[in-house]
């Protein structure tokens, strides 16, 4: 914990003064372009991976980057999504899974979750992903890594479906005001694979956003 406290002190002494103007602008309001939904895993830093600054990403995190389908029961995800979309007016939603995800391992092996009843129930929102992979590939033919990778991808696809059931999101999609993106981040290579709805495949980030990345490399 000590290094966290000294981090706060360092931030206040060195970092904040250097970016004072930017922080002052943000002091009274935010106008993020993107709602970024990812796993609570400590190894993902959305701002680091996307090289963005405070104020640019509205971030929602939970175990498994799950978006429960809309219901009349209010939860933290439902309220945060509604706020980001209807009040802040984000124009993009990124749902980002990741390699070596503990939540996805739990979704594959729910018997191992007997002592974690809430985790088990929460991961019920990922059940479609495990079922789809089972049907498509037959789990026995896959290595553990392959199985986990496919479930992680399928989970992102499933959560993209779920978010479309939220009324505020559905309204913006219907009027072309919002774009959805499904990503999977790999810790080992820093590769981000992105979901292509037309082909139902994940492909490298540079293929999906070719023009933008070409501009960056010039
Ligand atoms: Zn995770």
Question: Helices (DSSP H) in the chain: which residue ranges?
Answer: 2-10, 16-18, 20-26, 46-50, 76-82, 102-108, 117-122, 127-137, 144-163, 167-174, 205-208, 210-217
Confidence of residue 90 (pLDDT cuts 50, 70, 90): very high
Pairwise CA distance, residues 32 & 80, whole Å = 13
- Reported as a pLDDT band with limits 50, 70 and 90, residue 139 is low
What is the per-residue pLDDT across 189-207, written as a single tens digit (0 to 9) for each? 999 999 999 999 999 999 8
96-128: pLDDT as tens digits: 999 999 999 999 999 999 999 999 999 999 999
Annotated binding site for Zn(2+): 39, 41, 98, 101
Distance 147 CA to ligand 1 centre (A): 15
Q: What angle do CA 156, 78, 132 make, to 5 degrees?
A: 25
Which strands, in side-by-side order, build the sheet including 201-204? 57-62, 34-39, 92-98, 179-185, 192-196, 201-204
Say if residue 80's pLDDT is above 70.
Answer: yes
d(CA 97, CA 38): 6
**Residue list, annotated binding site:** 39, 41, 98, 101
> What is the DSSP code (8-state) at residue 206?
H
> Distance from the CA of 102 to the center of ligand 1, in angstroms?
5
Q: Rounded to the nearest whole angstrom, what is the distance from the C-alpha of residue 17 to the centroid of ligand 1?
A: 34
C-alpha 194 to ligand 1 mean position (Å): 17
pLDDT confidence of residue 93: 98
Task: Read off the pLDDT of residues 13-35 as tens digits, 9 standing for 90 and up.
Answer: 999 999 999 999 999 999 999 99
**d(CA 104, ligand 1 centre) in Å:** 7
Q: Is the CB of residue 144 less than 8 Å from the CB of residue 101?
A: no
- 158-197 burial, b at 16+ Cβ within 10 Å, e below that, comes to bbbebbbebebbeebbeeeebebbbbbbeeeeeebbbbee
Q: How far is CA 155 from CA 41, 105, 115, in A?
A: 16, 12, 23
Cβ burial of 147 (10 Å; 0-12, 13-18, 19+) is buried
Ligand 1 center to 159 CA (angstroms): 14
**Domains of the chain, first to last:** 1-30 (no CATH), 34-217 (3.40.1050.10)
Ligand 1 centroid, distance to 39 Cα (angstroms) = 5
């Amino acid at each position: 914990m000590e290094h966290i406290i000294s981090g706060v002190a360092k931030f206040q002494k060195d970092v904040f003064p250097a970016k004072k103007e930017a922080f002052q602008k943000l002091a009274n309001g935010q106008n993020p372009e993107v709602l970024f939904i990812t796993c609570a895993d400590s190894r993902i830093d959305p701002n680091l991976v996307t090289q963005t600054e405070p104020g640019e990403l509205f971030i929602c995190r939970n175990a498994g980057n799950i978006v429960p389908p809309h219901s009349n029961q209010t939860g933290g995800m439902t309220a945060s999504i509604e706020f980001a979309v209807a009040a802040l007016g984000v124009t993009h939603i990124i749902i980002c899974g990741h390699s070596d995800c503990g939540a996805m391992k739990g979704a594959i092996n729910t018997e191992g979750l007997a002592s974690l009843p809430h985790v088990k129930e929460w991961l019920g929102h990922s059940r479609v992903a495990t079922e789809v992979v089972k049907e498509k590939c037959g789990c026995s033919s896959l290595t553990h890594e392959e199985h986990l990778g496919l479930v992680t991808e399928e989970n992102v696809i499933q959560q993209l479906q779920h978010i479309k059931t939220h009324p505020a999101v559905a309204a913006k999609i219907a009027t072309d005001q919002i774009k959805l993106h499904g990503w999977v981040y790999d810790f080992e290579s820093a590769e981000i694979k992105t979901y292509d709805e037309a082909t139902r495949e994940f492909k490298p980030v540079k293929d999906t956003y070719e023009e933008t990345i070409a501009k960056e490399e010039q």
